[in-house]
Structure 1
Amino acid sequence: MFIIPIEKLKTYSLLSVALLISSGPIIAANIPEIAQDFPDKSLTQVELLTTIPSLFVILGVLIGNRLELWIGKKSTILMGLGFFFIAGIFPVIMHEVFSLVFISRCLFGLGIGLFNRLIIQMISEIYQNNPGKQASLIGLESAFEGLGGICLTLLVGQLLKINWYTSFYVYALALPILVAFFFFVPADTREMEKRNTEQLTTTSDNSRDKRPLQVMAGFGILLFVIVIIFINYNIQITPLILEKNIGNATNGSNMLAFIGLGAFTAGFSFGKIYKLVRNYIVPLAILLLGVSMCVTTISQSILLTTFCSMVIGFSFRCIMPYLLHTFTQQISRMAKLGTTIVLVAYNLGATLSPYEGTLIRRLFHVQSVQSVVFTNAIILLMMAITGFGVAYVYQKRRVVKEFNTTDFI
């Protein structure tokens, strides 16, 4: 008889929560049909159903920072999963009233925020003495996010054939994950909390160094811009292929699934990629993002566009785990702050992404979806060139510093 070891059950129950983290935008393919059912609402209002959860993820992260101190990490995560499940499937029941659907999406995002940061924090705490293993598991957490995006998006595409609100049944996946997490993941141990407290006490003087905070803020701004463009691509990919007359809404949903596939691949291979390119991982990823978006604007093949979408997902998911791994190497308080900055930047960018398309249209006087995506691609390419310069200077200074230290010794 095959028995799964309890340690693996704990690990995969913990990682399974990550399947739900990136599930907010998976209903992007529903936007055209939702807009038809609510003709009195602007397209931007309808698109907000995809991105408004990200704004409330920020609120959930901030609430979760306090809530975990009162009821513990496990209870906070379980509460978030409960919000996710109930609010996620709510549009199936009350889909006639746009305001109620909108509110349910807000509470849905709040639920994600309650467990998003804590999953990463639990991984970093458990493996804080093994940075290599920690990097691999943070990459694996990102892979599970991508896997969730693949599976749920493909399911949305099939349920969309019935009607747009039936597709919200995909969020019922939260129920078995909640049950597994409740039974197989132990509550916070006092020893772990004591160790973190001691670590914070003994290194509190180092936290006065403002340089890590400045780096975190800089990466936060960079991530904010990248996320705005990346999520906007998720929103615009279905209208893009419809505008170019090379596919339908189901093809658009499949594009989102392949973005998830790329993210899944990046998560599993992040450990090896990190060892290979180190500090150049961010500019390389931005370069791939920009080139792939350029190709989608000129592509007349659904296969080529699908491949580019997968590369876009891969590139983006190389950036997130790099930042999370970099920040979790700091002392406890700075690691918590860095993770919060990453998640706030990500979700704020995701929330504002529908307005980014409007801003591009007004600034550059373009109207077509193709022109908006192309403009975003050029912005990314310019950022990549700048990023290579910054990474080169940083690496050169680091080598000089190490040489001078060795020479002095």
Structure 2
Amino acid sequence: MKNSKSSKLFKLALLSISLYVYIGTSISPAASLLYQAFGSVSHTQVDLLTTIPNFGIVLGLILSPFAVKAFGQKKIIISGLLLTLICGLLPAFLTNFWLILATRFLVGLGIGLFNSLAVSLIPQLYHETNELSKMVGYQTLTASLGSALSLFIVAFLVSYGWHAVFWMYLMVLPGLLLFVKAVELPQTASQKTFHWNLPLAVWIMALLMFLVLAFYMTLGYKLPIFAVEKGFVSTSTYSMLAGCMMLVGLPVGAIFGRLYDRFKSLLLPASALILFAGFLVISLANNLPVLLVGDILAGIGYGLIMPVLYRLLDRFCPHELVASATTLVLISGNIGCSFSPILLEVLGGKTAQAALLISAGFFAILFMVSLIYAVGRKA
């Protein structure tokens, strides 16, 4: 028996698919093992095993609206979860590098099919302001929780070899079963196609998402190098530390609804200021405790800025265009993640510390611009 959208089980099942939107790159702590396993392949190519899911996600996001129009939202979400589960597990049984690379791309494709729906279904189903803000906050919380959980699992499995790491994708199975059992989506919601004629504010939000994620991603690939170079942590313990840091944003997501109702547009400059402080503290850290303080600040800032951007998107975009706007913003964000190393190198971030300082500079600029905008709206 299916549950109404107001039931706790329905909400839990709907949010559960967000557990998996960030798990495409969670195998990164196994990089050193993968370098050893594929000694005949360059390190740059081996790194693709971690980053290529982002390109698959972009393709999945592009295909998702057309697939939804043909088959409906629920079937596409289930298909995406199945593709993520099966292709995520396949490398545990494979030894050919190129076959594994192909499955990693398909993992991203699967995530891309349900990624935008995990976000856009919330404003489609919940229209009351308080409930909508709470669900948007819970969605970000759930995504961070899924990322942290995947990193904890990888930290445990990595000691059993690189093949074992891919068993992490079994975590998709419970969410898949829960979604199939508990969620029934309105048939009218599936009769949507992608609209390019979106308000200018949506395109600005897409550009902002590109920049925010491009600069925030420096924590993902530069912070481990920075921490190890400084002698703060060993490579083997970084996955556990990264998982712990992902949990920092959870309390923020849990109370986001109340924060947004109280502060509205001021939350964007506040989150940018916290991110600036976090990146600055990290880049200037000379010991592990200071680094952790910076990482905690960055985690809080990220836990705020992502639901703020999605909530602002809901405000600026007509209800009937929310799905298309969400897809555009997610595509832009994933492209930002993919091209982050190139962008930072062009800007002069050749060392880990330089890249972190450049990111701090971006969030300082975002703070000033968004504060001027927020104060101007109140004037």
TM-score (norm 2): 0.90
CA-CA distance at 1:306 after TM superposition: 2.9
Aligned residue number for residue 404 of structure 1 = none
Kindly indicate whether residue 193 of structure 2 is the aligned counterpart of residue 189 of structure 1: no
Aligned residue number for residue 384 of structure 1 = 367
CA-CA distance at 1:193 after TM superposition: 4.2
Task: Mark the CA change 1:395 to 1:104 in structure 2 (over 3 Å): closer, same or farther.
Answer: farther
CA-CA distance at 1:393 after TM superposition: 2.5
Alpha-carbon separation, structure 2, partners of 1:306 and 1:87: 35
Alpha-carbon separation, structure 1, partners of 2:275 and 2:42: 29
Contact 1:48/1:351 (8 A) holds in 2: no
Contact 2:280/2:294 (8 A) holds in 1: no
- Of 79-88 and 292-301, deviating more is 292-301
Task: Mark the CA change 1:90 to 1:213 in structure 2 (over 3 Å): closer, same or farther.
Answer: same
- Computed over aligned residues only, the root mean square deviation of the Cα atoms, in angstroms, reads 2.6
Kindly indicate whether residue 225 of structure 2 is the aligned counterpart of residue 239 of structure 1: yes
1:374-395 CA deviation, whole Å, 9 max, x = no partner? Answer: 2222232233223322332233
Kindly indicate whether residue 12 of structure 2 is the aligned counterpart of residue 26 of structure 1: no
Contact 2:158/2:165 (8 A) holds in 1: yes
Equivalent in 326, 339, 342 of residue 355 of structure 1: 342
Alpha-carbon separation, structure 2, partners of 1:391 and 1:46: 44
Gaps of 5+ in 2: none
Alpha-carbon separation, structure 2, partners of 1:243 and 1:74: 46
Alpha-carbon separation, structure 2, partners of 1:225 and 1:351: 12
Contact 2:126/2:132 (8 A) holds in 1: yes
Aligned residue number for residue 261 of structure 2 = 275
**Larger-gyration structure (1/2):** 1
| Residues 116-265 of structure 1 aligned to structure 2 (within 5 Å) | 116-128=115-127, 130-186=128-184, 188-190=185-187, 192-193=188-189, 213-265=199-251
2:84 aligned partner, one-letter code: F
Alpha-carbon separation, structure 2, partners of 1:139 and 1:112: 20
Aligned residue number for residue 345 of structure 1 = 332
Aligned residue number for residue 73 of structure 2 = 73
Task: Mark the CA change 1:104 to 1:263 in structure 2 (over 3 Å): closer, same or farther.
Answer: farther
Contact 1:147/1:261 (8 A) holds in 2: yes
Secondary structure at the counterpart of residue 160 of structure 2: coil
Aligned residue number for residue 45 of structure 1 = 45
Equivalent in 324, 335, 344 of residue 322 of structure 2: 335
1:118 aligned partner, one-letter code: L
Contact 2:141/2:253 (8 A) holds in 1: yes
CA-CA distance at 1:266 after TM superposition: 2.3
CA-CA distance at 1:184 after TM superposition: 1.4
Aligned residue number for residue 326 of structure 1 = 312
Alpha-carbon separation, structure 2, partners of 1:137 and 1:226: 22
| Residues 369-408 of structure 1 aligned to structure 2 (within 5 Å) | 369-396=352-379
CA-CA distance at 1:43 after TM superposition: 4.2
Equivalent in 271, 280, 290 of residue 276 of structure 2: 290
CA-CA distance at 1:225 after TM superposition: 1.1
1:112-161 CA deviation, whole Å, 9 max, x = no partner? Answer: 11111112232222212x12101101110111111111211111112122
Aligned residue number for residue 10 of structure 2 = 10
Aligned residue number for residue 107 of structure 1 = 106
Contact 1:258/1:306 (8 A) holds in 2: no
Alpha-carbon separation, structure 2, partners of 1:43 and 1:274: 44
The alignment covers a number of residue pairs equal to 373
1:349 aligned partner, one-letter code: G
Contact 1:63/1:114 (8 A) holds in 2: yes
Secondary structure at the counterpart of residue 160 of structure 1: helix
Alpha-carbon separation, structure 2, partners of 1:393 and 1:40: 58
Secondary structure at the counterpart of residue 300 of structure 1: coil
Alpha-carbon separation, structure 1, partners of 2:47 and 2:40: 14
- Of 97-106 and 326-335, deviating more is 326-335
Task: Mark the CA change 1:357 to 1:45 in structure 2 (over 3 Å): closer, same or farther.
Answer: farther
CA-CA distance at 1:343 after TM superposition: 0.7
Secondary structure at the counterpart of residue 170 of structure 1: helix
Gaps of 5+ in 1: 201-206, 397-409
Task: Mark the CA change 1:100 to 1:12 in structure 2 (over 3 Å): closer, same or farther.
Answer: same
CA-CA distance at 1:41 after TM superposition: 4.2
Contact 1:324/1:338 (8 A) holds in 2: no
Contact 2:205/2:313 (8 A) holds in 1: no
Task: Mark the CA change 1:308 to 1:336 in structure 2 (over 3 Å): closer, same or farther.
Answer: same
Identity in percent: 24
Contact 1:258/1:310 (8 A) holds in 2: no
TM-score (norm 1): 0.84
Contact 1:240/1:369 (8 A) holds in 2: yes
Alpha-carbon separation, structure 1, partners of 2:12 and 2:62: 26
CA-CA distance at 1:47 after TM superposition: 3.2
